[in-house]
């Protein structure tokens, strides 16, 4: 069933709108655009399922590579979103509501909180000495929101930090060939060695949505 694209007005800019939506492949996209003289101009567009970053280069790396159109007739907006952003809408609605005063970060957080997130457990197998209540070595195999199987090994480093020792796709075709391919979206290799730090790394870097950790110690 096709949904309605709701473009919400940004405060003090009558011709600037923004929206956030989930693609067919379960990516979360933030999109802002301006309308003028029957044309649309894309102001900003990036995947919002990664942790928000301040660096412009990191921001650019989160932009959908399929998006090529920047300026186009406003009656082509739904076509551009369908063909370049992997989402089909039936029509457009322009909305003015209380969200217009929110900052970009607040707007995205507000959207995420409004979506139901079921309890999802990340199962980790651990061994070795204990640091911060966690074994010094952890490993797991998981399936992310892109339906890719990923194997990851973590280890305590020092100063309450953890390091990604190994991370590779675990899909059948790679296992048969014995090839280890690191997911290109993995940019962080050091992070706080806590349950919260591990979940944040897995969710933001590997496109998962785990809420809790289930530990199996051997």
Q: E strand or H helix at 177, and its extent?
A: helix 172-177
Q: Which residues pair with 30 in a beta bridge?
A: 20, 46
Q: How far is it, in rounded angstroms, from Cα 185 to Cα 202? A: 11
Q: How far is it, in rounded angstroms, from Cα 204 to Cα 187? A: 10
Q: How far is it, in rounded angstroms, from Cα 45 to Cα 73? A: 18
Per-residue model confidence as pLDDT tens digits over 76-96: 999 999 999 999 999 998 888
Per-residue model confidence as pLDDT tens digits over 139-170: 999 999 888 999 999 999 888 899 999 999 99
pLDDT value of residue 164: 94
- Place 177 in a pLDDT band, splitting at 50, 70 and 90: confident
Q: How far is it, in rounded angstroms, from Cα 118 to Cα 194? A: 22
Q: Does residue 117 come out as left (phi exceeding 0), alpha (psi in the -120 to 50 range) or beta? A: beta
pLDDT value of residue 216: 87
Q: How far is it, in rounded angstroms, from Cα 138 to Cα 212? A: 15
Per-residue model confidence as pLDDT tens digits over 14-69: 789 999 999 988 889 999 999 999 999 999 999 988 655 554 555 556 889 999 99
Q: How far is it, in rounded angstroms, from Cα 15 to Cα 217? A: 56
- Write out the two tokens for 83: 């063909």
Per-residue model confidence as pLDDT tens digits over 182-211: 998 888 889 999 998 999 999 989 989 888
| DSSP β-ladder status, 190-192 and 161-169 | antiparallel
Residue with tokens 């932009």: 63
Q: What are phi and psi of 36, to 5 degrees?
A: -160, 125
Under 8 Å between Cβ of 120 and 211: yes
Q: How far is it, in rounded angstroms, from Cα 191 to Cα 200? A: 9
Q: Return the percentage of the chain with pLDDT > 90, whole number.
A: 43
pLDDT value of residue 133: 84
């Amino acid at each position: 069933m096709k949904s309605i694209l709701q473009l919400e007005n940004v405060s003090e800019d009558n011709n600037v709108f923004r929206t956030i939506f989930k693609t067919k492949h379960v990516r979360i996209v933030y999109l802002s655009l301006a309308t003028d003289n029957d044309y649309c101009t894309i102001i900003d567009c990036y995947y919002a399922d990664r942790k928000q970053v301040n660096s412009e280069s990191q921001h650019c790396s989160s932009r959908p590579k399929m998006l090529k159109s920047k300026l186009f007739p406003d009656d082509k907006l739904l076509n551009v979103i369908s063909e370049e952003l992997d989402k089909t809408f039936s029509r457009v609605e322009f909305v003015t509501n209380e969200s217009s005063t929110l900052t970009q970060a607040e707007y995205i957080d507000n959207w995420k909180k409004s979506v139901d997130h079921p309890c999802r457990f990340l199962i980790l197998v651990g061994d070795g000495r204990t640091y911060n209540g966690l074994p010094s070595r952890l490993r797991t195999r998981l399936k992310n929101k892109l339906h890719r199987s990923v194997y990851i090994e973590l280890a305590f480093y020092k100063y309450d930090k953890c390091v990604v020792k190994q991370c590779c796709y675990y899909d059948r075709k790679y296992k048969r060939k014995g090839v280890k391919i690191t997911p290109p979206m993995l940019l962080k290799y050091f992070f706080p060695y806590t349950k919260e730090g591990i979940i944040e790394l897995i969710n933001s870097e590997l496109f998962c949505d785990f809420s809790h950790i289930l530990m199996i110690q051997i």
